[in-house]
């Protein structure tokens, strides 16, 4: 395949795939009245009883839906929903690199100069980021924010030059993010460094929303944030059902994961935030080693009982490529994993084989 004439030399080549085929969430809750949540392709599944209350809001660069299956009262459920959204909005403002008053922006402004006091919530996210950075051998790196010339907002996408990437790459190094939990401070060691917590903060923020519901007496609920699904309790006495799409034929479901008690189904993919230039598609999952979007994996779906088990690993597996998935799975045997590679192959581990039930 020839590279387009205006594509910088050395850039990876991306197969052109129509947007309509790529724009889907790999994991989708299967609920009664599916159309209200915009969940294409879930028709073959039987609808569960209508939940008590639903609400949606634009958050975290996507639509966040909350479903409360049972609540002591309608008024209590509505209050819990309001407080959950408010909590998530507050955390988003602290952790967003686009919010001018965020702690993430403050860390960038003080990079190479001095440490910055951080909240307990941000410190916990940064600690998780460092842990995944170390365990993934740098495949996940929270300091990819230095590659700021990449912009994936649909209204104003932007692509850096090869020279801009070369200039930014020395500032992408998770080892230079220093944390002091005892003092509650964080520090970016070099000027020019910046954080991007998009691959690690979303799940903790959704989990905080779910915790807020529990604090208000809600014990049966589900939160869907653009294909990342967290659930507690049951859906009117039955397991919550989360469909996993076939990445090669997104109108079809490969199967359904039953979540009961507590569980999280997360997905990452090259379809979430992207744009096209000269027939080539560029997406938001960047390889910290090259500064360019990943090319080997179309999508990853993971299922576990806790956020900590999967947080950051969807991004890391997309960077590492399909060849590392079996080894990663061997070290994470309790996590069900599915990976769709760029060559059209779908790999899944034994835990996913066991978790993925037929669509009936």
Block mean pLDDT (10 aa), the chain, length 360: 37 35 68 38 37 87 93 91 98 93 97 97 98 97 93 79 95 98 98 95 98 96 95 95 84 92 90 71 86 91 97 96 96 96 93 94
CA 50 – CA 32 distance, rounded (Å): 5
For residue 261, what is the domain's CATH number? 3.10.520.10
Question: So what's the pLDDT on residue 275?
Answer: 65
Do the domain assignments include residue 321?
yes
> Residue 246: beta bridge partners?
249
Number of domains in the chain: 2
The reply to whether 123 and 179 lie within a common domain is yes
The reply to whether 23 and 46 lie within a common domain is yes
pTM (two decimals): 0.86
Last residue in a domain, options 188, 218, 246: 188
Question: So what's the pLDDT on residue 35?
Answer: 30
CA 71 – CA 53 distance, rounded (Å): 9
The reply to whether 207 and 333 lie within a common domain is yes
The reply to whether 171 and 222 lie within a common domain is no
Q: How many CB atoms lie within 10 A of CB 345?
A: 10
Question: So what's the pLDDT on residue 46?
Answer: 38
Question: So what's the pLDDT on residue 24?
Answer: 58
* Strands 53-59 and 297-304, bridge-based pairing: unpaired
Both tokens of 238, joined, read 């039955």
The reply to whether 210 and 332 lie within a common domain is yes
Question: So what's the pLDDT on residue 271?
Answer: 67
The reply to whether 83 and 109 lie within a common domain is no
Question: So what's the pLDDT on residue 230?
Answer: 98
The reply to whether 174 and 302 lie within a common domain is no
Last residue in a domain, options 188, 215, 234: 188
Both tokens of 172, joined, read 């992408």
Q: What domain range is 333 assigned to?
A: 19-90+200-357
Question: So what's the pLDDT on residue 272?
Answer: 65
Nearest CA-CA partner of 264 in 298, 227, 299, 220: 227
The reply to whether 167 and 292 lie within a common domain is no
The reply to whether 108 and 168 lie within a common domain is yes
The reply to whether 237 and 337 lie within a common domain is yes
CA 109 – CA 118 distance, rounded (Å): 14
Do the domain assignments include residue 8?
no
The reply to whether 99 and 150 lie within a common domain is yes
For residue 173, what is the domain's CATH number? 1.10.3980.10
Both tokens of 334, joined, read 């309790």
Last residue in a domain, options 132, 161, 188: 188
The reply to whether 300 and 322 lie within a common domain is yes
């Amino acid at each position: 395949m020839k590279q387009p004439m205006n594509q910088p030399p050395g850039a990876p080549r991306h197969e052109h795939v129509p947007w309509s085929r790529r724009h889907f969430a790999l994991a989708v809750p299967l609920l009664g009245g599916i159309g209200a949540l915009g969940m294409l392709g879930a028709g073959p599944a039987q609808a569960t009883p209508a939940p008590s209350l639903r609400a949606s809001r634009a958050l975290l660069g996507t639509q966040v839906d909350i479903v409360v299956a049972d609540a002591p009262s309608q008024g209590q459920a509505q209050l819990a929903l309001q407080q959950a959204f408010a909590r998530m909005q507050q955390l988003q403002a602290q952790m967003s690199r686009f919010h001018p008053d965020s702690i993430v922006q403050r860390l960038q402004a003080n990079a190479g100069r001095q440490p910055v006091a951080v909240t307990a919530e941000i410190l916990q996210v940064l600690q998780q980021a460092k842990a995944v950075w170390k365990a993934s051998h740098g495949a996940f790196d929270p300091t990819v924010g230095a590659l700021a010339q990449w912009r994936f907002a649909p209204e104003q996408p932007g692509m850096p030059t090869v020279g801009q990437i070369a200039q930014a790459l020395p500032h992408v190094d998770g080892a230079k993010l220093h944390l002091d939990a005892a003092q509650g401070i964080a520090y970016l060691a070099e000027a020019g460094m910046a954080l991007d917590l998009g691959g690690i903060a979303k799940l903790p923020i959704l989990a905080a929303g779910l915790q807020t519901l529990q604090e208000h007496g809600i014990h049966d609920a589900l939160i869907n944030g653009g294909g990342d699904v967290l659930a507690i309790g049951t859906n009117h006495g039955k397991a919550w059902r989360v469909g996993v799409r076939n990445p090669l034929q997104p109108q079809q479901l490969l199967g359904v994961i039953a979540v009961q008690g507590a569980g999280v189904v997360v997905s990452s993919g090259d379809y979430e935030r992207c744009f096209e230039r000269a027939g080539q598609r560029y997406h938001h999952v960047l390889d910290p080693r090259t500064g360019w979007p990943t090319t080997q994996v179309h999508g990853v779906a993971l299922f576990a009982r806790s956020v900590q088990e999967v947080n950051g690993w969807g991004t890391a597996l997309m960077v590492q490529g399909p060849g590392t998935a079996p080894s990663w799975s061997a070290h994470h045997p309790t996590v069900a994993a599915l990976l769709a590679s760029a060559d059209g192959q779908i790999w899944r581990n034994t835990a996913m084989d066991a978790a993925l039930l037929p669509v009936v």
